[in-house]
Amino acid sequence: MRLVGLLALALLAGCGKGGYKDGVYSGQSSADDTGAWGEVSVTITGGRVSDCQFITRQKDGTIKGEDYGKVNGAISNQDFYNKAQLAVRAMEEYARSYRTSGDLSKVDAISGATIAFNQFNEAVELALEQARK
């Protein structure tokens, strides 16, 4: 239900169609069931999205990166590690897609990384709320 509301907001807001104040704006998603959350930084230049960076953090605050999915620095379950790294790559793709299109509704979810997708959308919407003020 919450995702539907966020997507509706994104469509109504006309993300990337101009009209935002220039600057750098940050947004943080709510935590998921494991306590992890997403953080986004959106740069607006000339009223449009010119840059976007997205990371997700584990419950302890560490960034999900190349070690995400490892246990004590080692891959103990290859399948789990592969899925975790898919989410890491998806974070980069979500930010790249948004930078390129400037339109949140044109960022497609990647199968296996829908939690990160939802966190990305929520964080971008929160950042853009600041740009609209």
pLDDT digits (tens, 9 = 90+) for 32-80: 999 999 999 999 999 999 999 999 999 999 999 999 999 999 999 999 9
* pLDDT tens, residue by residue, 14-32: 444 458 999 999 999 999 9
Give the CATH class of 2-132. alpha beta
Domain boundaries defined on the chain: 2-132
Query: Which phi and psi angles does 46 have, rounded to 5°?
Result: 65, 30
Mean pLDDT, residues 102-115: 96
